[in-house]
């Protein structure tokens, strides 16, 4: 009886340790992460720990623009989509939390990340941002090869000073994807106006989307999502 109890205890400890290893610990150093973003990041990680992914789901992965979509299942009228957006997150932040994503072998991932890197003056360069984005999709593909990866281009913003950086990163990732097996979803092209800025009617602050903006996004990728959601 004591032996059986010991085995159960060891198993529970092992499972708990394994679960903890899926998520970055508080204090984990994330390159160029600003102080204001740290609490948002780890508060959201705690939510993820309580609401774990399931195997073979569709995962929306990104920053506040993804998180702001809230219940993506409701938006598409399906089940099996998990929202893994974190407000304030960056490419390095996503890299630090990939263990959870990879462990649960998603059916598909829709990645949208990079605008916070562009806004962050400490980020070394647009090359650094683009290379990090590619690092993310390459690692997912290497460790979860059955996962379909949809790389979404960074959305335009209202402020003129960020326009060229957004274009530069998007061009780099589009060039790479065009020569690979990954798929690009050019969200930038449907949100940008004739001046190279975010269409005013799709955002409430020039960066984040309003309900009309989310509707445009959902309508644009809905055929792809429905095929994935209805395929075992």
| Edge-to-edge order in the sheet of strand 183-185 | 81-85, 58-62, 108-112, 148-152, 183-185
Task: Give the model's confidence band at 130: pLDDT under 50 very low, under 70 low, under 90 confident, else very high.
Answer: very high
Phi/psi of residue 109, each to 5°? -130, 130
User: What letter would DSSP give residue 106?
Assistant: -
Read off the pTM.
Answer: 0.91
Relative to beta strand 183-185, strand 108-112 is unpaired
Q: Looking at residues 41-70, what average pLDDT do you find?
A: 98
pLDDT value of residue 1: 52
> Look-up: residue for tokens 């508060």?
43
Tell me the H-state helices in the chain.
2-21, 35-50, 64-67, 72-76, 91-96, 98-103, 115-119, 126-143, 163-178, 187-191, 211-229
The pLDDT value recorded for residue 17 is 42
């Amino acid at each position: 009886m004591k032996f059986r109890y010991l085995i159960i205890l060891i198993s529970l400890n092992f499972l708990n340790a394994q679960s903890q290893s899926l998520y970055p610990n508080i204090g984990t150093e994330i390159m160029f992460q600003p102080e204001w973003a740290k609490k948002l990041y780890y508060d959201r990680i705690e939510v993820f720990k309580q609401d774990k992914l399931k195997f073979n789901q569709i995962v929306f992965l990104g920053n506040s623009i993804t998180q702001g979509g809230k219940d993506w299942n409701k938006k598409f009228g399906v089940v099996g989509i998990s929202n893994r957006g974190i407000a304030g997150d960056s490419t390095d932040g996503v890299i630090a939390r990939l263990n959870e994503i990879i462990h649960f072998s998603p059916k598909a991932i829709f990645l949208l990340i990079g605008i916070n890197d562009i806004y962050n003056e400490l980020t070394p360069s647009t090359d650094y941002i683009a290379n990090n984005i590619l690092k993310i999709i390459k690692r997912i593909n290497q460790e979860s090869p059955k996962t379909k990866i949809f790389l979404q281009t960074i959305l335009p913003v209202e402020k003129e000073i960020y326009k060229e950086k957004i274009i530069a990163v998007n061009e780099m990732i589009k060039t790479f994807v065009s020569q690979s097996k990954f798929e690009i979803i050019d969200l930038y092209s449907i949100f940008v106006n004739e001046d190279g800025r975010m269409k005013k009617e799709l955002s409430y602050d020039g960066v984040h989307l309003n309900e009309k903006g989310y509707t445009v996004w959902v309508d644009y990728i809905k055929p792809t999502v429905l095929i994935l959601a209805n395929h075992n």
